Amino acid sequence: MTIVLHRNFRKGLENLTSKQKTRVAEILQIFKDNPFDPRLGSHALHGKHKGTRAISAGGDLRLVFKEENDYQRVIFVRVGTHNQVYD
């Protein structure tokens, strides 16, 4: 699996606290090991976000991604609070 961090994801990551950044790194490692791990709470998004999925990094922190070719390539497009990523 190839993981790509979109520029919007990187920009959102810059705005997180150091604790949140650490948690995102942990979640990304779990995702790399098994993108279907139930701890991630992966779910498809609807409406204007159709075609993307989200995982939880605990609390209100979400990571939004697109997967291609049956998870051969994953592009993380947004990171932030629920309101920030679903805006």
pTM: 0.91
Per residue in 18-71, pLDDT (tens digit) is 999 999 999 999 999 999 999 999 999 998 989 999 999 988 899 999 999 999
Q: How far is CA 44 from the centre of its chain?
A: 12
Instruction: For residue 70, give the DSSP letter.
Output: T
Residue 46 dihedral angles phi and psi, to the nearest 5°? -125, 180
Per residue in 71-86, pLDDT (tens digit) is 999 999 999 988 887 7
User: Which domains are present in the chain?
Assistant: 2-85 (3.30.2310.20)
Residue 9 pLDDT more than 90? yes
